Structure 1
Amino acid sequence: MRYRFYKKIECMMLPLSQSLLVSLAVPILCLSYTPSLVVGKITDVVLFGDSFTDQSRAHSIANGSVPGKDYQEVFPPIDFSADGGVQWPWYLGLYGNYRIWNYAVGGAVCSNNLTPLFDEPDVISGQEFWFVQDHIDGFNTSGQRLLLDPASFVVIQYIGTNDVGINSFVTFNESANVSLPDVADCQLDHLRAMHKLGVRNFILNSLIPLQITKLYSNSSAPTIYWPHVHDGNAWNNGMYNLVHSLNRMLIDGVKVLNAEWGGDGKVEWFDTYGFFEEMFNHPTQFFNGSIPANVTGHCHQCPDPDDFTQCGIGDCTLDERDSYMWWDELHPSEQTGRNLAAEMLKKIEGRSKF
């Protein structure tokens, strides 16, 4: 099913849904359009990232089944992703009629050499390897060939939350002699590596305003992700600075890459931070469940921060889920993901203000 009719109008309704599929209703945003990312018709979207994007790879790895060539598992129905349902790339594929190649892994960072965290397949090596496995013929030989038409697909990179988060920068646990510019360089170097493989269309996502999540709020109470009393004010202020600093470095890096490539490739900046602020500041335009829009609480409850087995007790109902911006203390909800997918479609088509 293709939902392409809204391409013809300048003011569009963003998709919302109570079900796994689609029912429509959301903000009317009238925007001034910018030139499209690409000249050719986009048919495929390739994604690198962490649990904000992962559809099932982290679960597959944890269950002892390392994703192989052309892996395309989407949760649910067998399980659910970190947003409590289906991740936003699935909706992007639906809205834009794209084939989705999602290499994101929950718990991932840009490079395990910098901020190892859980040692999940990182963007710059593990996830890049999967891309090579699926789309590069004769890798590292004189006959190396990209199997996708460079004009027909776009790479979206959306990483950094785990790099700056708990057990890393915000808790002062980053590796020795590693600084925030190293993390920014990692993201930019991955885009360079993909460019060498023949990729020409890129979207680099900023970090979201992590300081508005429960995990990084000014509350010092334990959470399921950090079951210890901590200095909430220090975390909140520190995360604000980390996010803004890394985003600024990445914005500057986008300019460097575009100048470096001299028109042979293009990186677009997607202001995920600004888009999340828009949802946070205008919740009734984006969230329409059976209860009032809620951008400060979260749907998924874990009553005892020391006991994962109790998680789910007191969750919001299925009818209420579309009212929440957040699934849990850190992860956006499925409804937030639908909103992101709709805006990302507009970005690909050159119609987004973000």
Structure 2
Amino acid sequence: MRTISSLLTVLAVAASLASAALVSGRGPRPGQIKNLVTFGDSYTDVVSTGDNAIAWPVFAAQDGNLELFPFARSGATCSNNITFRPFPSVFESQLPLYFSEVRNGSLRLNAEETVFTLWIGTNDVGVNSLLVGQGGPGATVVNTTRCAVSWVKTLYDSGARNFLFQNMIPLQKTILYSADSYPNRYWTAPRNTTEWSVFMTEMTTAGNALSRALLEMLAPKLPGAHLGLFDSHQLFEDMLSNPAKFLNGTVPPNTTGAIHQCFFDINESTSDLNNCTTVTGPAADSFLWYDELHPSEQTDRNIGKAIAAAVKRTSEQYTTWFS
């Protein structure tokens, strides 16, 4: 398995610098935020949803009485120049679309009343990307993390002032990246599932620590801005460790299976997926995962509730405001 010692060295230096640069703040005032602008991948896309149902931004807008402006697109990475995928990335597609709508006047937002969120990284570190060595030359999680953090400065320079950065979940606990995974729709070829799980743990842990350090260093350089970190990783750890608090379906809470699972038979000559199972009705609300990679609708309800509480300032449980 490849080493990430150089990544950890950079991380240690960044964390050391961050401690000196940290400027504490209070974030936006309670009730200040009225608009929610979202960027990201299938975890945030409200049209091509990862859970085949309602995505968390819709729940956040409802719970927080916010107007939603969604720019996240399924399959996205931070930049296709770092980890190429044939999907609308943040920097090559989502941000240009946002800036285009601002320029042509179709999107008019009061900067003081608008919060911008970014939840990216799942595709950057996953299959067909860093996990299997399919990034640009020399690309690591350092590059993808720096890219994500630079999203803040890019929008700040355009006039945005309120930001909530969402870190990566413990992806090694999804079915796709768990040590006891199986051939599925996202990966059918032979693989060392234990190696994948360990490496994914390293990338998500290191990437999240690095993003926090970089955000802390960036905050004092953005006068008049409110910059916060939403700890998606901890929220998922809490849901995994205490599912009964978050899942309320009609069967016992389930954090290891999924609503829609498909087992691929590697001995079959056809590439068709088979042995699919789908949970329907109220029982689906007992599942943390929709499929082998994506959170369920019930999980998205919990994410939306937590994000709404963060931007409306009714809870600081998963949020740290650096400015």
TM-score (normalised: structure 2): 0.84
Confirm or deny: 8 A CA contact 1:146 1:197 kept in the other structure.
no
Matches of 2:274 and 2:119, distance apart in 1: 27
Does 1:170 pair with 2:131?
yes
Does 1:155 pair with 2:123?
no
Matches of 2:115 and 2:303, distance apart in 1: 16
Task: Provide the aligned C-alpha RMSD in A.
Answer: 2.1
What is the Cα deviation at residue 86 of structure 1? 0.7
Residue-pair matches, total: 290
Superposition map of 1:125-274 within 5 A: 125-137=92-104, 147-219=108-180, 221-261=182-222, 263-274=223-234
* Cα separation, partners in 2 of 1:187 and 1:40, compared to 1, 3 Å: same
Matches of 2:88 and 2:257, distance apart in 1: 31
Matches of 1:305 and 1:347, distance apart in 2: 44
Does 1:45 pair with 2:36?
yes
Confirm or deny: 8 A CA contact 1:221 1:230 kept in the other structure.
no
Deviation readout 1:83-105 (Å, 9 max, x if unpaired): 12111111111111111111111
Match for 1:286 among 246, 250, 253? Answer: 246
Aligned to 1:124: 91
Deviates more, 1:285-294 or 1:169-178: 169-178
What is the Cα deviation at residue 219 of structure 1? 2.1
Does 1:344 pair with 2:312?
no
What is the Cα deviation at residue 260 of structure 1? 1.1
What is the Cα deviation at residue 41 of structure 1? 2.2
What is the Cα deviation at residue 130 of structure 1? 1.7
Q: Which structure has the highest helix share of the two?
A: 2
- Counterpart of 1:121 in structure 2: which amino acid? P
Counterpart of 1:301 in 2: which secondary structure? strand
Aligned to 1:18: none
Does 1:102 pair with 2:70?
yes
Aligned to 2:288: 325
- Counterpart of 2:80 in structure 1: which amino acid? N
What is the Cα deviation at residue 312 of structure 1? 8.7
- Counterpart of 1:268 in structure 2: which amino acid? G
Matches of 2:169 and 2:97, distance apart in 1: 26
Question: What percentage of aligned pairs have identical amino acids?
Answer: 31
What is the Cα deviation at residue 279 of structure 1? 0.5
Matches of 2:98 and 2:275, distance apart in 1: 35
Deviates more, 1:299-308 or 1:340-349: 299-308
Greater relative contact order, per chain length (Cα 8 Å cut-off, separation 6+): 2
